[in-house]
């Protein structure tokens, strides 16, 4: 893809466990175009958060990257050691986690969170200059700078999540990974937060990888969407294309499960079955036990690298049967 800030090729991440190897991410390739928002969607346990953490090399042991490349502006992050990654996390790519209460230190005031972040990366910035920058940013996020002397628990959930965005932006990275950033917010605060995120993305020309199970959020914010199932990206497309014409049966199922107030419907569609056990995934296409379009080839071979209408879709309905 032209001018990709992040390009992932053939990435596989395994977790050895007492019951076998969990293939949390299995041969994933995709790119993030600069200045765009890409939604990464799928059910819980499909590998989307693991993929986000892997970009920053923050997976918990025993998780390990067993294959692939992660190119950030052409630099392969797989080759970086921990000291080098510490210099990349923050100034080049940063992350907004699901729950600010587990990410912010409850024992230190908010200004210290910012000061310590700046001090870790920009040793020559004095405290007054750092505070001027912090005050300006938090005011821009709609929080009075006087609140910076407070502790995390003294803020509302929406304010805490705005502080998390501020911490992610304070070192001016161009890439932000936001992992379910609205999970802890109610719908009203969520709507305000999404508006803020959309505004910041345009203003700072940010590239955002938005990890979520919520297709509504993707529809509001994303330019492109990658759909994950059982550790694989099964479909990737522009957001309008994907919503107007989903191709993969799993994507169709996800979209059919969204309530539509314009349709008179007694029962909402639910996809049969549940995601596979990744220590022992089904043979062939991992979606075949739940797929309404299953064919005889589907439990024998795994669909790979199928492109139809310029769209990546891992499904034999769109080719690959003869490969």
Tokens of 252: 């169709």
48 binds ligand SF4 (CB under 6 A): no
Stretch that binds ligand SF4, among 74-82, 134-142, 177-185, 309-317 (CB under 6 A): 309-317
288 binds ligand SF4 (CB under 6 A): yes
Closest CA to 256 of 267, 245, 270, 244: 270
Q: Which member of 172, 257, 265, 293 binds ligand SF4 (CB under 6 A)?
A: 293
Tokens of 18: 């007492």
Measured from the CB atom, is 37 or 285 closer to ligand SF4?
Answer: 285
205 binds ligand SF4 (CB under 6 A): no
Stretch that binds ligand SF4, among 30-38, 44-52, 173-181, 285-293 (CB under 6 A): 285-293
Q: What is the smallest separation between the CB atom of 260 and ligand SF4, expressed in angstroms?
A: 23
DSSP 181: T
Closest CA to 212 of 185, 249, 246, 173: 185
291 binds ligand SF4 (CB under 6 A): yes
Cβ–Cβ under 8 Å, residues 284 and 297: yes
Number of residues that bind ligand SF4 (CB under 6 A): 14
Q: What is the rounded distance in angstroms from the CA atom of residue 306 to the CA atom of residue 66?
A: 24
Instruction: Please list, residue by residue across 55-64, b when 16 or more beta carbons sit within 10 angstroms of its beta carbon and e when fewer do.
Output: bbbebeeebe
DSSP 309: T
228 binds ligand SF4 (CB under 6 A): no
Q: Which member of 73, 317, 319, 321 binds ligand SF4 (CB under 6 A)?
A: 317
247 binds ligand SF4 (CB under 6 A): no
């Amino acid at each position: 893809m032209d001018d990709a800030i992040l390009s992932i090729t053939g990435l596989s991440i395994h977790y050895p466990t007492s019951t076998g190897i969990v293939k949390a991410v299995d041969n994933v390739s995709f790119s993030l175009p600069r200045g765009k928002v890409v939604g990464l969607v799928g059910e819980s346990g499909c590998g989307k958060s693991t993929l986000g953490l892997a970009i920053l090399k923050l997976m918990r042991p025993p998780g390990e990257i067993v294959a692939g490349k992660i190119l950030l502006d052409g630099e392969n992050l797989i080759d970086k050691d921990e000291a080098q990654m510490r210099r990349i996390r923050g100034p080049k790519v940063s992350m907004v986690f699901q729950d600010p209460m587990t990410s912010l230190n409850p024992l230190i005031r908010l200004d210290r969170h910012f000061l310590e972040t700046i001090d870790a990366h920009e040793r020559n910035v004095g405290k007054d200059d750092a505070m001027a920058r912090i005050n300006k940013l938090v005011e821009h996020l709609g929080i009075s700078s006087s609140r910076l002397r407070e502790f995390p628990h003294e803020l509302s959930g929406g304010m805490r999540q705005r502080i998390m965005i501020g911490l992610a932006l304070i070192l001016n990275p161009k890439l932000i990974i936001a992992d379910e950033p609205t999970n802890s917010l109610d719908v009203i605060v969520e709507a305000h937060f999404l508006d803020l995120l959309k505004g910041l993305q345009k203003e700072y020309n940010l590239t955002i990888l938005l990890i979520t199970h919520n297709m509504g959020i993707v529809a509001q914010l994303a330019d492109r969407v990658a759909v994950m199932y059982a550790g694989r990206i099964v479909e990737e497309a522009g957001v309008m294309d994907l919503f107007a014409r989903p191709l993969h049966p799993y994507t169709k199922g996800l979209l059919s499960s969204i309530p539509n107030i314009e349709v008179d419907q007694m029962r909402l569609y639910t996809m049969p079955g549940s995601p596979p056990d990744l220590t022992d995934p089904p043979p062939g296409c991992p979606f075949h036990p739940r797929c309404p379009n299953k064919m005889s080839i589907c439990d024998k071979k795994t669909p790979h690298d199928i492109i139809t209408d310029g769209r990546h879709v891992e499904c034999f309905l769109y080719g690959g049967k003869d490969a």
